[in-house]
């Protein structure tokens, strides 16, 4: 479930396609990652307890840049030692419309309580939630042949219809590039071949990290 608030740019020709290299190293430090994940958890708990969440100005300056972000929630198994988890919600901003720390808080709350695929998270569930964040780069137009599975996320749009899939989705599903393009069209409610027939194709990269990535060593 994505919240899009701005019209994507039109497709460019092959020679005009913007090329954005993947970052050579993580953008966010371990402490910044921990802070963002803590914000997500606290946003959910504060909503359950009907408490206001702190203003964005109370967070570190490095986390105040306008950024797109998706918050994905998973529910851990109750069985001891069972590594399995289930998707519990996913909501995001594809476009940089809010400071990152506030965007994380808002999307975490929305993933917990507003994802129409799931019932709202309960107080009993909150301690068992795992959070994964995907912090997005800015969108850039891309030619279909330049799409790299595992590196790029996609936003495909035509008219008022838009569909977005994160970079990890085709990897998790074993899709090739063409299937990735088709499934993003499907997400938009467009024909599977709309990417061949004038739909706007934009890409982004994402830095993905979750609770398991920042756990203190035993």
Residue 136 has pLDDT above 70, yes or no: yes
Termini Cα distance of the chain: 36
Show the tokens assigned to 45. 């708990």
Dist CA 141 CA 18 (whole Å): 6
Integer Cα distance of 172 and 170 in angstroms: 5
Number of Cβ atoms within 10 Å of the Cβ of 123: 10
Q: According to the model, what pLDDT value does residue 217 have?
A: 52
Mean pLDDT of all residues in 25-40: 92
Higher pLDDT, 152 or 8: 152
The predicted pLDDT at position 21 comes to 42
* Per-residue pLDDT reduced to its tens digit, 53-70: 766 667 777 899 999 999
The CATH number for 2-213, chosen from 3.30.700.20, 2.40.128.50, 3.30.70.260, 3.40.50.2300, is 3.30.700.20
Residues of the chain with pLDDT > 70, as a percent, come to 83
Break the chain into its structural domains and give their ranges: 2-213
Report the pLDDT value the prediction gives residue 60, as an integer from 0 to 100.
Answer: 76
Stretch 2-30: mean pLDDT: 47
Determine the average pLDDT of the residues in 86-97: 92
Q: Which of 56-65, 89-98, 112-121 has the lowest mean pLDDT?
A: 56-65
Per-residue pLDDT for 124 more than 50? yes
Q: How confident is the model at residue 216 (pLDDT cuts 50, 70, 90)?
A: low
């Amino acid at each position: 479930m994505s919240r899009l608030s701005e019209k994507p740019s039109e497709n460019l020709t092959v020679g005009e396609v913007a090329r954005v290299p993947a970052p050579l190293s993580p953008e966010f430090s371990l402490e910044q990652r921990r802070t963002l994940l803590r914000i997500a958890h606290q946003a959910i708990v504060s909503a359950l307890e009907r408490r206001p969440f702190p203003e964005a100005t109370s967070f570190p300056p490095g986390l105040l840049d306008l950024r797109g972000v998706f918050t994905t929630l998973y529910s851990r198994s109750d069985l001891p030692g069972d590594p399995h988890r289930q998707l519990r919600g996913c909501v995001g901003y594809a476009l940089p419309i809010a400071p990152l720390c506030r965007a994380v808080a808002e999307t975490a709350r929305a993933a917990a309580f507003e994802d129409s695929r799931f019932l709202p998270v309960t107080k009993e569930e909150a301690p068992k939630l795992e959070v994964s964040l995907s912090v997005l780069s800015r969108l850039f137009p891309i030619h279909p042949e330049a799409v790299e599975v595992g590196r790029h996320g996609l936003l495909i749009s035509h008219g008022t219809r838009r569909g977005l899939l994160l970079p990890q989705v085709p990897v998790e599903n074993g899709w090739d590039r063409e299937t990735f393009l088709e499934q993003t069209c499907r997400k938009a409610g467009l024909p599977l071949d709309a990417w061949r027939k004038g739909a706007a194709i934009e890409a982004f990269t994402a830095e993905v990290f979750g609770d398991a990535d920042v756990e203190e060593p035993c």
